[in-house]
Amino acid sequence: MSYMGFFPYHILSCIEFKNLINGGNEKRESLLIKIMKKLLGLFSILLIVLIVSTSCTKVDSTSKGEASQTVKQRQWKIAFIAGGLFGDQGMNDAMLKGVKDFSDKSGIKVTSVEVSESGDTMINANNFAEQNYDLVLMGSNYSDVIGETAEAYPKTTFIINKGSVHGDNLVSVKFNEPDGAFLAGAYAALLTKELGGKPTIGWVGGMRIPDLEISKFAFKAGAKVFGVDTNTVYIGDFKDSAKSKEITLQMYNDGIKVVQSFCGGAASGVYQAAESQPEGNYALGSATGQFHMSDKIVASQVVNYDIYYQQILASFVENNGEIDSQLLEGTLANGGVGIKYSPKHQDVATKEMREKIESLKQKVINKEIKVPTSEESFNKFSYKVE
């Protein structure tokens, strides 16, 4: 191999290179030493750059990797205490679905329990907190008694469905259900006018409790927008499907063509009554749709518990146990509540009807319409659409 092929030109000047080839042994040795020093210096610089670059890359990837692994590998302990028994085809089942969807997507197990007595809820909450659970999701509103437990177990986060609580480890979740009820009442009124006959719709509730009273007046206000009256009846509990069926049958016999069910586990009675009626008599569902329960359900006032709570649990884990706000709200705007039309009855919910309901929805979102939630505000409500 020649010298020209071995040494790069930039190491030596032209004169030095010539001396290397034509000079004596003494000059060659001197120049070779000079070359070795330059090469050694060059290699040292390259080595330092390489070490620094590799070191920086390792620190960055390690820190990111550790953060990711912390969230993924942490043994999360999450519990869900239902607001009653599973199988209600309503809120409890919807929340359970959201919990299961979260588990399926994240691989994180959630301990879910149902309760038959109200006192069992706090017993379970205390037991989970004592076992160092990271999060306890409570399906009922225990705002008035959860404070003491939350204070005793500051490392456990408690999420209260439909609650109103304050504390560093307490989170309230509220759903603007009246807004969805308002749209359902409006749609029921439009459908009734389309079907002809008596300008009255029906509403069957479970127990006369504040939450249902609020939704009842909102539903009535929606119907009032289109000049339709509402016959409202409570059955007294959320289980007596025989009674809900009897009441609904009486409504149909009185000429009512559309009945809204808002009675929890007793909703099946409303739907059974609807199924016994000829074409042109319908029911409205609740919870997350309930369309699987009866082909007679043409639309539903929905609270998307499943989607909303799945997102909350996912956010809690992704943010390493942190929740952005102590009050989370499900609204018409973010899809937490609303109206859902049955895919089996596209011909019943006409395009014109949907457009009118969508117009009302936007007016509620933009605060052009304030939905009544009490008898007093309902009596004063005067918004009309011809």
Q: Which of 46-60, 169-183, 275-289 has the lowest mean pLDDT?
A: 46-60
pLDDT at 274 over 50: yes
Those residues whose C-beta lies under 8 Å from the C-beta of residue 79, and which sit 6 or more positions away, are 110, 111, 112, 113, 124, 128, 133, 135, 136, 137
> 186 with 237, same domain?
yes
In-domain check, residue 342: no
Q: Which of 34-38, 80-84, 360-364 has the highest mean pLDDT?
A: 360-364
Q: Which of 13-27, 57-71, 88-102, 296-310 has the lowest mean pLDDT?
A: 57-71
In-domain check, residue 155: yes
pLDDT at 322 over 50: yes
> 45 with 104, same domain?
no
In-domain check, residue 121: yes
> 86 with 151, same domain?
yes
> 239 with 221, same domain?
yes
Confidence of residue 80 (pLDDT cuts 50, 70, 90): very high
Structural domain of 292: 177-302+350-380
Residue 283 CA, distance from chain mean position: 26
- Beta pairing, strands 337-341 & 297-303: antiparallel
- The CA distances from residue 276 to 4, 252, 256, in Å, are 102, 10, 14
Confidence of residue 50 (pLDDT cuts 50, 70, 90): very low
Average pLDDT over residues 156-176: 93
What CATH number is given to the structural domain containing 291? 3.40.50.2300
Average pLDDT over residues 349-362: 96
In-domain check, residue 331: no
In-domain check, residue 160: yes
In-domain check, residue 385: no
> 160 with 181, same domain?
no
> 58 with 170, same domain?
no
> 59 with 84, same domain?
no
Those residues whose C-beta lies under 8 Å from the C-beta of residue 7, and which sit 6 or more positions away, are 17, 20, 35
Q: In this predicted structure, what is the pLDDT of residue 265?
A: 84
Q: In this predicted structure, what is the pLDDT of residue 4?
A: 42
Those residues whose C-beta lies under 8 Å from the C-beta of residue 276, and which sit 6 or more positions away, are 249
> 205 with 295, same domain?
yes
Q: Which of 44, 72, 100 is the last residue of a domain?
A: 72
Q: Which of 153, 175, 197 is the last residue of a domain?
A: 175
pLDDT tens for each residue of 175-196: 999 999 999 999 999 999 999 9
- The CA distances from residue 182 to 15, 217, 363, 370, in Å, are 95, 8, 12, 10
Pairwise CA distance, residues 254 & 220, whole Å: 18
Q: In this predicted structure, what is the pLDDT of residue 354?
A: 96
Q: In this predicted structure, what is the pLDDT of residue 324?
A: 80
Q: In this predicted structure, what is the pLDDT of residue 223?
A: 98
Average pLDDT over residues 263-282: 94
In-domain check, residue 345: no
The closest alpha carbon to 246, from 233, 258, 264, belongs to: 233
> 251 with 270, same domain?
yes
In-domain check, residue 228: yes
> 261 with 354, same domain?
yes
pLDDT tens for each residue of 89-98: 788 999 999 9
Q: In this predicted structure, what is the pLDDT of residue 97?
A: 94
Task: Give 19-39 as a DSSP string.
Answer: HHHHS-HHHHHHHHHHHHHHH
Q: In this predicted structure, what is the pLDDT of residue 56?
A: 42
Pairwise CA distance, residues 155 & 64, whole Å: 25
Average pLDDT over residues 194-213: 93
Q: How many domains does the chain have?
A: 3
pLDDT at 55 over 60: no
> 142 with 26, same domain?
no
Q: Which of 175, 198, 217 is the last residue of a domain?
A: 175
Confidence of residue 5 (pLDDT cuts 50, 70, 90): very low
> 243 with 191, same domain?
yes
Q: Which of 48-52, 233-237, 239-243 has the lowest mean pLDDT?
A: 48-52
Write down the pTM of the prediction. 0.74
